[in-house]
Each structure stands twice: as structure tokens, then as C-alpha cells.
Amino acid sequence: MNIFRIIGDLSHLLAIIILLRKIWKTRSCAGISGKSQILFALVYTTRYLDLVTTYVSLYNTVMKIIFIAVSIATCYLIYMKFKATYDHNHDTFRIEFLLAPAVILALLINHDFTFLEILWTFSIYLESVAILPQLFMVSKTGEAESITSHYLFALGSYRALYILNWIYRYHNEEIYDLIAIVAGIVQTALYCDFFYLYITKVLRGKKLQLPA
């Protein structure tokens, strides 16, 4: 374990807690893409199936359970409890265009053609594009509440910090995982536009307005 990964995991945990809390406190999921949340729930449930087969550490196990529980709870709030506030009209990204390539790529490029490994690979590929419906929704509505942009900043930072973790591990432990690294770079690249807007606008107290 290294500082980059710890801060990355905590940033990730912060992001999903910010989102769950925002929806719960405001009793509304306005401006939140339910489709992205479904994709994230799928990412964690397919990636963390090894909870039952491999014990890495207490930290690893506890965090996996939290990520699965919080992502499912968030989907429940969006699609069940506060369904009336879900913004169907702006959450229109076709997620089948993300799921199909992730499945195909996982079957073609993987470390091992076993059930759990294919699911893990699918999860890695899917996670790299899972935020697209949310970013698409923000671009369609032309703006995002500041709490939503804090959520996106924390979520985007987590994988950016993981890239530093992978550099650290390559130099210090001489291990690397190209699938995770390439997907992580793609994932972080998707946030660059948002990071720019967040730093130049939100941190100066302005609302996040995307050029329509």
C-alpha cells in the first residue's frame, strides 16, 4: 500500500459518500445521472466478486463491501425512493454503447480467460467510461450544482491518484497491470475538461456552467 493509493481510495470513498448524502439530504436526485450510477454499481459488483474467493486485507474487504453497498443504495434512492425527482429527459446517454464494447474488449483483451478474470476486466473497462452519462447530462443541462461538481472532482481524482500509485509500484515493486493502467489513463482523461472547469470556476465560487 502507498500514499497515492490510500488518498485515491479515500477520495473515491468521499465521492460516493458526497453523492449519497446529497441525494438523501435534498431528497432529490436532480442533475444526477442514474445511468452512471447503474454502471458504477455494475462495476463494483463484477469487480469485487473475489470477496468470496480471495482475502487480501481487512481494509480491502471493508472498502469493497462499502463500495458495493453505497453504489446499490444510491441506485435505490434514484430509481425507487426519489424516483419522482429523477431527470429522465436529460439522462439519455445510451449505455448499451458502453456495455457492449466493454464486454467485447474484456473477452478479447484480458490476463486470463476465466470467469472471474473476464468479469474483473469488464469492470475495469466499464469503469473507465462509466462517468460519461453523467458528464453528458451536465453538458446537456449546461450546468451542475456545486455539490455535484465536488463529487465529480473527488471521483476523477481517485483514478488520477491511482496512476501515481501505478508509477510508484512499477518503480518500487516492479509490478504493473497494463489493462488497469491504460483504462485508468482513459478514465482520467475523460475528466480533464471537467477538471479545468472545476479549478477555474467552482474553486472561485462560480457555478459550473458548461459552454452550451
Partner 1 sequence: EGIKDIHDEL
Among 24, 28, 45, 64, binds partner 1 (CB under 8 A): 64
Looking at beta carbons only, is 137 or 180 nearer to partner 1? 180
Give the C-alpha separation, 211 to 139, whole Å: 8
* β-sheet bridge partners, residue 144: 208
- Alpha-carbon distance of 33 to 39, in angstroms, equals 10
Q: Is 179:25 a contact under the CB 8 Å cutoff?
A: no
Helix axis angle for 132-141 and 146-172, nearest 10°, is 150
Cα separation, 74 vs 56, in Å, equals: 26
**Which one of residues 11, 12, 138, 148 is an interface residue with partner 1 (CB under 8 A)?**
12
Helix axes 58-76, 34-47, angle to 10 degrees: 150
For residues 117 and 199, give the distance between their C-alpha atoms in angstroms, rounded to a whole number: 37
Q: Name the strand (E) or helix (H) holding 78.
A: none
Q: How far is the CB of 99 from partner 1 (least distance, A)?
A: 21
Q: Which of 165, 187, 191, 202 binds partner 1 (CB under 8 A)?
A: 165
Residue entry with cell 429522465:
88
Residue 81 binds partner 1, judged by CB under 8 A = no
Nearer to partner 1, 97 or 170 (CB): 170
Q: Is 60 in the site for partner 1 (CB under 8 A)?
A: yes
Residues between 117 and 136 with contacts to partner 1, criterion CB under 8 A = 120
When the beta carbons of 29 and 119 are compared against partner 1, the nearer one is: 119
Name residues contacting partner 1, limited to 20-59 (CB under 8 A): 47, 50, 54, 56
Asked if 174 interacts with partner 1 (CB under 8 A), we say yes
Site residues, partner 1 (CB under 8 A)? 5, 9, 12, 47, 50, 54, 56, 60, 63-64, 67, 111, 120, 162, 165, 170, 174-178, 180
